[in-house]
Amino acid sequence: MSAKIPLSLESILAARNRVEGFVHRTPVLTCSYLDQLSGFKLFFKCENLQKTGSFKIRGALNAVTLLGNTHDTVVTHSSGNHAQALALAAKIKGLKAHIVMPNITTRIKKEAVHGYGADITECEPADKSRQEAAARVVQRLNGVFVSPANDFDIMAGQGTLALEMLEQVKDLDCIIAAVGGGGMISGVCVAAKSSRPGIKVIAAEPELADDCARSLAAGKLTPNKSTPDKLTIADGVRVSLGDKCWTVLQHYLDHVITVSEEQIVSAMRMVWERMKLIIEPSAAVPVAALLYKGDEVKRKYPQVNNIGVVLCGGNVDLEKLPWNKK
């Protein structure tokens, strides 16, 4: 059944060739303190140190490169990280970029998007609002929509980070990453499992945006129904799984762990304090999963010890840190 999915190790290797030289080979770091707390040996893939501050440039650049000369304007909707990535990818390729962003997006992410030369249209922070606003912009500008996650070229680009991690750490038993739209975890699943049979891939997500867990439990795609008063602090993973990502994850993903808002903030602060790394809340989600729900992994996969943890981004509004309540 997986052979029907147009995402493969070959497509991820091809994506790697396209983005090489334009993206960083980010480091993998360790922290004995977090090893001790979690009971695992953890290897942190620092995509927070990637260009534009997140892994998203990998997929955006792969997708934009594959467009060739067919369009001169690319459009997307994004809470910030894909927005910055697409803006930079368009700049590299000499294209215009127009981004639809939720009106609650942090100031620093909006400023970064403008800094890469893209235009912004704001919308309400709901999946439907984002999609409808982007569709209007595409029609008005005769542009092409580049999905934040629900695109196999995007997934292939994101999967390149897993190829790097497996080269950097030879004996990983498992990789864990946050899941929102599903582009990164889909690429990681295919890259990891095609390269190293037997490796486990686990997704982590907030309890307030747990559509991946509910979808796997139900055996069908089950989108989020978030309301403005119940939005996770992890803004990068508020969006629901895309249907194309779901076709990958239902075959490849091993498990999903959900965490509370308090656990996300605690894990984020711990990484700042102990590893001296600036990560955003979305990057803290898999860390929280291992620190507070690690027993769940141990019960389900007792053979797992060496775990790769994707720190997916580091774009934070320093004036609104979650532990500084004013």
In a domain, 325, yes or no: no
pLDDT at 149 over 60: yes
According to the model, what pLDDT value does residue 127 have? 75
Dihedral of CA atoms 35, 232, 199, 244 in degrees, nearest 10, equals -170
Query: Does 116 share its domain with 220?
Result: no
Query: Does 183 share its domain with 308?
Result: yes
pLDDT at 326 over 60: no
191-210 tens-digit pLDDT = 999 999 999 999 999 999 99
Write out the residue range of the structural domain in which residue 271 sits. 2-54+151-320
According to the model, what pLDDT value does residue 319 have? 84
Asked which of 145, 169, 186 is the last residue of a domain, the reply is: 145
Cross-strand partners of 200: 174
269-283 tens-digit pLDDT = 999 999 999 999 999
Catalytic residues: 56, 79
Give the confidence band of 324 by pLDDT, cuts at 50, 70, 90: confident
Task: Count the alpha carbons within 13 Å of 107 in the hemisphere toward its beta carbon.
Answer: 5
Asked which of 122, 145, 168 is the last residue of a domain, the reply is: 145
Strand 28-29 and strand 200-206: pairing? Answer: unpaired
Residue with tokens 């999903």, as numbered in its chain:
256
Rounded CA gap, 265 and 22, in Å? 32
**Residues of the chain above pLDDT 90, percent:** 82
Query: Does 138 share its domain with 99?
Result: yes
10 Å Cβ neighbour count for 131?
15
Query: Does 35 share its domain with 117?
Result: no
Q: Are 36 and 74 in contact (CB under 8 A)?
A: no
Give me the number of domains the chain comprises.
Answer: 2
Beta strand extents in the chain (DSSP E only): 28-29, 41-46, 73-77, 96-102, 119-123, 144-145, 174-178, 200-206, 255-259, 306-311
Of 297, 202, 214, nearest to 256 by C-alpha is 202
Give the confidence band of 2 by pLDDT, cuts at 50, 70, 90: very low
29-50 tens-digit pLDDT = 999 999 999 999 999 999 999 9
Of 272, 264, 271, 278, nearest to 313 by C-alpha is 278
User: SS3 of 70, please?
Assistant: coil
